[in-house]
Structure formats: C-alpha cells, structure tokens
Amino acid sequence: MAKPRPHHGGEDTEEARVFRAAVRDVTPLSMPSDLPQGAVPPRPPVQARSRRRAPIVESESLGDVVTTEDAPSASDPLSFRRPGVREQTLRQLRRGRYPVEDELDLHGLSQSAARDHLAEFIAAGRNAGLRCVRVVHGKGYRSGARGPVLKIAVNTWLRRHTDVLAFTSARAIDGGTGAVYVLLR
C-alpha cells in the first residue's frame, strides 16, 4: 500500500486520510486526446424515457418574424402556463426547483435562425424525455431601439408550441430575465 501524501498544509488530517481511503480504488476518467488540457468533455446524450409522443411541430408553425407593440422590456419577467397546469407548478419552476436537463443559447442569432434552433431543441428535448430545459434569449441590450427582439420572439414562440406546458424567467443565477425555464410535456 502506498504511503498517503499529506495535503498542502503539511499535516495529514483524519479527514484527508478518510478521503484517500474512500477514493483509493478510483481510476481517473480518460479524456479524449483531442481536447485541450482542462477542457470539459461534451455531455453524453440523455437516454430517452418512454413517454407519449406529441406531434412534431415544425419551425414554420411557430410563426414568422415576431413584431409586437405591447412587448416585454429587457427587465420584464416572462411567465406562461397552459390551462390545467397548476399555479404551484409554475411557482416551483420559477424558483428553480426542476433540474435543468439541457440548455439552448440563442445569443447572436437572427430571428429565423433562432426560431429554427428553438423548434429543433424543443422537439429533441421532447423525444429525449426531458422535463425542464433552459432557453437563453438575452436581454436585448444590443438591439437598440427595437428592444429585446429575441426575448419577444421566444415569448411568442413558446406560447404557440404544443409541447410547452409552462415557462418562466430564470433565477438571477441562471440568466434572470435573459433566460427562461421551460417545462415540457
């Protein structure tokens, strides 16, 4: 048996000995050779759970480019729930009580590209059996006088998507009013 190495302080505490004993038989994960030092490997695909399949929604059915006079500002929170979804469920979603299983970042995309990516992302999440995902749309600070273009569009598109049960602006640590938690069917 190899002699335990002391931690940085030079002392060998009981905690350190217990930890080393617990991880003694652990072997490090092999990293793909093409990743730079310290890089995190991509997440493995989520295994699909058996669920009822809803019809696939093509991006065209989400609608064309969205323009609205009565649209939310960059700091306005978004919130939506379908009839039959309890207020308590929306409140738990808003508080981040559902684990986020995947994320889509739409920063820098045009409306049409964002619409296509969002439709594909929701369909893939549904097919993978995901329950809660996060969509980062940004706050629109670089949109000038047009306001938060993607935020307005995402708000409209998610309301139209049949696989979306509810959505709400994320907690500040997860993007605040620049992102939404989406509860999938």
Mean local confidence (pLDDT), 128-151? 82
With b for 16 or more beta-carbon neighbours within 10 A and e for fewer, the 127-152 pattern comes to: ebebbbbbbbbbbbeeeeeeebbbbb
Mean local confidence (pLDDT), 52-73? 47
Q: How far apart are CA 152 and CA 27, in angstroms?
A: 48
Class of domain 74-184: alpha beta
Residues in contact with 1: Cβ distance below 8 Å, sequence separation at least 6, in sequence order: none
Which segment of 15-24, 30-39, 157-166 scores lowest on mean pLDDT? 30-39
- DSSP summary character for residue 155: H
Residue-level pLDDT at 1: 52
Phi/psi of residue 100, nearest 5 degrees: -75, 120
Which pLDDT tens digit goes with each residue over 93-135?
999 999 999 999 998 888 899 999 999 999 999 999 999 999 9
Q: Is 8 exposed, middle or buried (0-12, 13-18, 19+ CB in 10 A)?
A: exposed
Q: How far apart are CA 178 and CA 19, in angstroms?
A: 40
Alpha-helical segments (H) within the chain: 14-22, 87-94, 111-127, 149-160
